Amino acid sequence: MKTFLYMICCGVVISVAYWAYKENYRTQASLRRVAELQQQIAHERETISVLNAEWAYLNRPNRLRDLVDLNFGELGLVPLLPEHFAEVELVAYPQVEIDVNELVNPVSTSSAPTAGPDKEFP
């Protein structure tokens, strides 16, 4: 009985030692991976900041203005002026296509509701 207990204990010790050994190496591998990732993050951040700077540089007002001038033929953009403001009331409603039948028969005799102009003007 005693010997059996000893053997079990030995077995437990060996397996726990093996587990600890493995965990140790796994931890070290994880730490290395974390360091790698952090380096990668730092690199990505640097890239982002460079891209941000580049974006700001490419979108600088002077360059955009020159581009607008260069492409005036296609874009026809002009500086925003007070005349460009308008009242909402001045915007035309979209043209409603009117069904010819409705003109002929303005009051519908069928019981089913027809899609009249009312739908467009709620």
Partner 1 sequence: MRTPLRPLARVLDARERGENPDLIEAEERAIRNVKTQMKMRRRAESRLLVLGVFFFAAFLTVGTRMASLSASEPTEPVSTASIPQIANQRADIVDRNGEVLATNLATTALYAQPPLMVDPQTAAAGLVKIFPDLDLKRLQEDFSGKRKFLWIKKKISPEQQQQVHDLGEPGLLFGPREMRLYPNGRLAAHILGGASFGKEGVNAAEVIGVAGVERYFDETLRDPAREGAPLALSIDLTAQSAMRQVLSGGMKLMHAKGAAAILMDIHTGEILSMASLPDFDPNDRPRVLTKGDQSDSPLFNRASQGVYELGSTFKIFAAGLSLEKGQVNEDTMIDTRGPLRWGKFKIRDFHDYGKELSVTDIIVQSSNIGSARLAMATGTKAQQELLGKLGFLDVVPVELPETRSVHPLLPPNWSELSTMTISYGHGIAATPLHLAAAYAAVGNGGFKVKPTLLRQETIPPQREQVLSRDTSTKLVKMLRAVVTRGTASFGEVKGYEVAGKTGSADKPKPGGGYYDKKVIATFASIFPASDPKYVLIVTLDEPSIKAHGEMRRTAGWTAVPVAAELVARLMPILGLRPNVASAGNVQYMASGN
* Shortest reach from residue 32's CB to partner 1, in Å: 8
* Shortest reach from residue 2's CB to partner 1, in Å: 18
Instruction: Choose the binding region for partner 1 from 18-26, 74-82, 98-106, 114-122 (rule: CB under 8 A).
Output: 74-82
Is residue 89 close enough to count as binding partner 1 by CB under 8 A?
Answer: no
Burial 27-36 (b: 16+ CB within 10 A, else e): eeeeeeeeee
Check: CB of residue 74 under 8 Å from CB of residue 83: no
Measured CA to CA in angstroms, residue 72 lies from 57, 62, 64, 68, 79 at distances of 22, 15, 12, 6, 12
* Shortest reach from residue 43's CB to partner 1, in Å: 9
Is residue 23 close enough to count as binding partner 1 by CB under 8 A?
Answer: no
